[in-house]
Each structure stands twice: as structure tokens, then as C-alpha cells.
């Protein structure tokens, strides 16, 4: 267990954690690419794998800025996310689109974890006035945010539509068609109610 005696030491420990996480991902992402069936998803994952390898290099540069050799410390969080992602990708699915949707979910959980980790490290580096480290980590966090946005676009435009069953599509269609019908019924009831009220008032005036 590390002994944390300063913000600089805390930053170093955070970088060790992130360094381990990124190195694990260089081995994990190829497995997800192999399991994916959507060409767009495969391309996005391959692109981010290339970025991840560059991010490992940036972390090594950050360690150099701190006059330290790059060293990893087991990142339990990333280790768990990768294991969960492998498990989901290996499940039995009735449709390949469902597996792709699960892979995107697993990949986005990883992205959100990384965005949080880099965000904290950047804040601490900024407090320590380590501008070169801030610049290196900012370049990476921007890539993580872009990757997350790309995965969301793929999920919404391709994969999740492919994963929807015919019954789900039919039900969605019925709900969309049913909404105007219910609105018309509501207007009809309102109109009958108004007519009834007018009739009642006329009847009371004639009796008076």
C-alpha cells in the first residue's frame, strides 16, 4: 500500500493506476473487435485501440515530466470492467445486434471510468502547475470523450435498431399510432361533455 504524503505523490499513484488501465485495454479491445459484427463498431474500436496505444506513450511522457520511470499499479476498477465486458461479449444472444449492443455498453462503461480518472489527474496536475502533464492528459481525455460520443452514435443509429426484435418494433409502432387516436378520443369525450353541459343549462333556463 502506497504512502501518500503530498498531492504530487497522489498524482503519481493516480498515473500508475491509469497506466495499468490503459495497458490492460490494449489487450482487451482486440477481443471486443473480434466479437463485434457491426463493421462500424469494429472500425470505431480499432481506431480507439490505436489511440489507446498512443495514450500509453503519453503517460510515459507524463512520468518523464515528473522525473520518474513509468510504473503501473494494478487498477482493480479497470480489471473488473474488462472482466465484465468479456463476460457480456461471451453470452449467448439470439441476434448479433444484441451482442454488439452489449459490447458498446461495456466499452462506454470503460470510457466513463477513464474520463473520471483523467479528469481528477488533470485537476491535481493543474493545482501543482505541471502544465506539460496537464497538456498530455487533456489530449487523452478529449479522445476518450470523442470515443464515448462515437459509441453512442453507433448505438442509436445502427446497433440498437438491429437488436430490436420484430415484436418490439411492432409495439413501438402501435404506441405511436395509438397516441393520436387517444388524443382524438379525448377531444370527442370533451366535446360530448361540453354539449351535455350546454343542454343542461338550456333546460334549466326554460324551466325558469
Per-residue model confidence as pLDDT tens digits over 53-96: 999 999 999 999 999 999 999 999 999 999 999 998 988 888 88
The x, y and z cell numbers of residue 189, run together, are 369525450
The x, y and z cell numbers of residue 94, run together, are 439470439
Of 85 and 177, the one with more pLDDT: 85
How large a percentage of the chain has pLDDT more than 70?
Answer: 75
68: Cβ–Cβ under 8 A, 6 or more apart, which residues? 12
Q: Structural domain boundaries of the chain?
A: 7-164, 166-208
Q: What angle do CA 46, 49, 51 make, to 5 degrees?
A: 115
Pick the CATH number of 7-164 from 3.90.550.10, 2.40.128.720, 1.20.1260.10, 1.10.1740.10: 1.20.1260.10
Tell me how far apart the alpha carbons of residues 169 and 44 are, in angstroms, rounded to a whole number.
27
pTM of the shown model: 0.76
Amino acid at each position: 500500500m502506497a504512502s501518500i504524503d503530498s498531492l504530487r505523490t497522489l498524482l503519481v499513484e493516480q498515473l500508475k493506476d491509469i497506466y495499468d488501465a490503459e495497458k490492460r485495454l490494449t489487450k482487451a479491445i482486440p477481443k471486443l473487435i473480434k466479437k463485434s459484427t457491426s463493421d462500424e463498431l469494429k472500425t470505431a474500436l480499432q481506431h480507439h485501440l490505436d489511440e489507446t496505444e498512443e495514450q500509453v506513450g503519453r503517460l510515459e511522457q507524463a512520468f518523464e515530466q515528473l522525473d520518474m520511470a513509468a510504473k503501473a499499479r494494478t487498477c482493480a476498477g479497470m480489471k473488473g470492467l474488462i472482466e465484465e465486458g468479456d463476460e457480456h461479449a461471451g453470452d449467448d444472444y439470439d441476434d448479433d445486434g444484441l451482442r454488439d449492443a452489449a459490447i458498446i455498453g461495456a466499452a462506454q462503461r470503460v470510457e466513463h471510468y477513464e474520463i473520471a480518472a483523467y479528469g481528477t489527474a488533470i485537476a491535481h496536475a493543474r493545482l501543482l502547475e505541471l502544465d506539460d502533464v496537464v497538456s498530455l492528459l487533456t489530449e487523452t481525455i478529449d479522445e476518450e470523450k470523442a470515443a464515448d460520443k462515437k459509441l453512442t452514435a453507433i448505438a442509436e443509429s445502427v446497433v440498437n435498431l438491429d437488436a430490436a426484435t420484430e415484436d418490439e418494433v411492432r409495439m413501438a409502432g402501435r404506441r405511436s399510432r395509438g397516441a393520436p387516436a387517444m388524443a382524438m378520443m379525448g377531444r370527442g369525450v370533451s366535446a360530448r361533455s361540453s354539449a351535455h353541459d350546454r343542454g343542461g343549462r338550456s333546460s334549466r333556463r326554460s324551466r325558469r
